[in-house]
Amino acid sequence: MTGLEHGSDITEGERFRLPVGSVTDYAILLLDEAGQVASWNPGAERSRGYSEREIVGQPSSRFFTDEDRAAGMPERALRVAATEGHFEFEGWHVRKDGTRFWAHTVIDPIRNDTGKPMGFAMITHDLAVRKQTQEALRRSEERFRLLVQSVTDYAIYMLDAHGYVTNWNAGAMRIKGYAPEDIIGQHFSRFYTEEDRIAGLPELGLATAAREGRFEAEGWRVRNDGSRFWAHAIIDAIRDDDGRLLGFAKVTRDITERREAQLALEQAREAFFQAQKMEAIGKLTGGVAHDFNNLLAAVLGSLDLARKRLPAESDALRFINNAIMAAERGATLTQRMLAFARKQELKLEAVDTAALVHNMAELLQRTLGAQVTVDTCFPSTLPTVLADPVQLELAIINLAVNARDAMPGGGRIVISAKEAAVPADNAQGLAQGQYVCLAVADKGEGMDEKTLAQAIDPFFTTKGIGKGTGLGLPMVHGLAEQCGGRLVLKSRKGEGTTAELWLPAVAATATAAPQPPRLRAAPESAPQGSLTVLAVDDDRLVLNYTVALLQELGHRVVEASSGKQALEILGRQPVDLLITDYLMPEMTGTQLAEIVRAGWPRLPVLLVTGYAELHPQKSPDLPRLHKPFQQEQLAAAVAELTEASRAPAPELQFVNR
């Protein structure tokens, strides 16, 4: 009988039948020497689908695939087991229904006590679930690898425990500029700037990630070509199941554009806040200057009247003269405040800056003193600028005095100019076009960044108490802005300062903007007939002062504290002249003048104003008298208006100055 004999040997094997018969996770079967199935357990029936009656006596080769049978795998397995005492492999097996499953198989030879071969023990474990899990894991890892390799917006790569690069994705190649073969095996510190490497930042990042599990930071990084970019980087520690550090995962993103946009937004926000602050200060300054002008008008006028009524030998005359000088200095201060607030009235015309500076050379030298040398540097041809020449002279003197004060031991001031084309998007915030840059430069003490940032703020000064009002540079700044330009300060501590006055260039034949009539100074012999004058002002102090001056000139005065009251008076009685303040509640002086011109077209109107709050195109032919004024200026205005009203022409004509 071939195969396993049913003698004492089989009886001895009965001792293993019960435990083997209870195993269902493993197929445990006996094969005879020819490889035919001699026994079959429930695990074999479950995994392969055959019943014991169907399979016992059948060759074990039917469990192999057609490919394995064609390759002689069943015979080789038995041969190796018989000769080497063991055969083990993983591969595909076939069930009764023809489906395949992945199995781990062990074949061992069986011998009797004398060493005679009796067959084989074949144990098979169905690994289909494990195989599916491994395959799913493999596919997942492959998808993850493809995903990481496909990402181009992030540099994703691995470092070993010492910081050396072990792999490299497409995003890392794009952002950092290294090919995988150039960077794998290199230390990641080469991505840091020289300053950061010296400061130990790469080591700090790894140490923090190893200690805390994660490190996150932003900073400059260096590409392969040496260029820099602003990066957001994350380093995560990777550990095995036992907590042993295997390396690091590093993710880097180039956020240079975002950082630049954020910085631009912050600069724009700061500029907006600065503009709001300056606008608020400008409004406050303009309002204060207007009210201050009203007070000065009353003070100067009252002092002037008092001086005229005192005898020439009076001791009190000296004190009154001092008070008048102080009040005039206050009037100059208000003009600077109005210039900063851009509420001064400018007489714009085409100005040759080179000629203007040349003509004021003597004045500059006398103002600055012998310790300072003034040099000029102008090109042979330079376009004119649209500006008020008188205010521009004051601005240059202000800048030159500041330059002198920055050089206590004396020195050299250079006044120069150049023509420049300013593009649409420029750092100075100028409108696009041609400009003349008039610069005043010194080699004095210079300013630090904090001082430079505050330099044009009103009332800010570094000259000490009593040595400066802090309105010189704000006045220049206001003038430049009112002319359509900009004041730009450049300075470094210990290296001097350059003040650049950027003014829009114009053709030499450019005409000035429409200006209100300027009243001529009245000749000393001008006749002053008695007139009935209607004086209108909502400020009682100014109104009393105006009335007193007019009465002193021999005129009869009718008072009104508002435009409405003035119209009621005009409806009741005739007057020869209307003098009205501009800024009044309910009805402004220009509104009153328009109504008067419609109802009383031959009545002369004189507008009194504290600052240029009038719109440039609003009543451009309306004569004006600026506060504070003295009796001579008022007399000149009244004389010219009276003379013009007697002329046959239907419209009043005045000389522009």
Q: What is the pLDDT of residue 461?
A: 58
Quote the CA–CA distance of 180 and 170 in Å, as a whole number.
Answer: 9
Quick check: is 378 in a domain? yes
Quote the CA–CA distance of 281 and 283 in Å, as a whole number.
Answer: 5
Asked if pLDDT for residue 260 goes beyond 80, the answer is yes
Which residues is 505 bridged to in the sheet? 385
User: Residue 589 maps to which CATH number?
Assistant: 3.40.50.2300
Quote the CA–CA distance of 86 and 107 in Å, as a whole number.
Answer: 6
| Domain count across the chain | 5
Q: Do both 126 and 170 map to the same domain?
A: no
Q: What is the pLDDT of residue 564?
A: 92
Average pLDDT, the chain: 80
Beta strands in 335-401 (DSSP E): 349-351, 372-377, 384-387
Extract long-range pairs of 3-8: CB within 8 Å, 24+ residues apart.
Answer: 3/32, 3/33, 3/34, 3/36, 3/38, 3/119, 4/30, 4/32, 4/38, 4/118, 4/119, 5/118
Quick check: is 142 in a domain? no
Sheet holding 154-160, edge to edge: 154-160, 245-254, 228-239, 214-222
Helices and strands, counts by H and E, the chain:
21, 21
Q: Do both 362 and 456 map to the same domain?
A: yes
Q: Do both 334 and 354 map to the same domain?
A: no
Quick check: is 140 in a domain? no
Q: What is the pLDDT of residue 301?
A: 73
- The answer to whether 555 and 638 have CB atoms below 8 angstroms apart is yes
Quick check: is 241 in a domain? yes
Q: Do both 569 and 434 map to the same domain?
A: no
Quick check: is 402 in a domain? yes
Q: What is the pLDDT of residue 80?
A: 93
**What is the value of pTM for the model shown?**
0.40
- For the segment 550-591, what is each residue's pLDDT rounded down to a tens digit? 988 899 999 999 999 999 999 999 999 999 988 888 898 889
Segment among 81-95, 188-202, 292-306, 389-403 with least mean pLDDT: 292-306
Element spanning 220, H or E: strand 214-222
Fill in the DSSP letter of residue 494. Answer: T
Of residues 266 and 20, the one with the higher pLDDT is 266
Residues ≥6 apart with Cβ < 8 Å to 257: none
Q: Do both 72 and 125 map to the same domain?
A: yes
Quote the CA–CA distance of 61 and 64 in Å, as a whole number.
Answer: 5
Quick check: is 139 in a domain? no
Quote the CA–CA distance of 85 and 110 in Å, as a whole number.
Answer: 9
- Boundary (domain end) residue, out of 340, 361, 380: 340
Quick check: is 588 in a domain? yes
Q: What is the pLDDT of residue 247?
A: 93
Element spanning 632, H or E: helix 631-646
- Boundary (domain end) residue, out of 196, 226, 254: 254
Q: Do both 21 and 125 map to the same domain?
A: yes
Quote the CA–CA distance of 290 and 281 in Å, as a whole number.
Answer: 14
Q: Do both 245 and 314 map to the same domain?
A: no
- For the segment 393-415, what is each residue's pLDDT rounded down to a tens digit? 878 888 888 888 888 888 889 99
Q: What is the pLDDT of residue 216?
A: 94
Quote the CA–CA distance of 162 and 180 in Å, as a whole number.
Answer: 19
Tell me the residue range of the domain where 322 lies: 270-340
Q: What is the pLDDT of residue 275?
A: 60
Which residues is 385 bridged to in the sheet? 351, 505
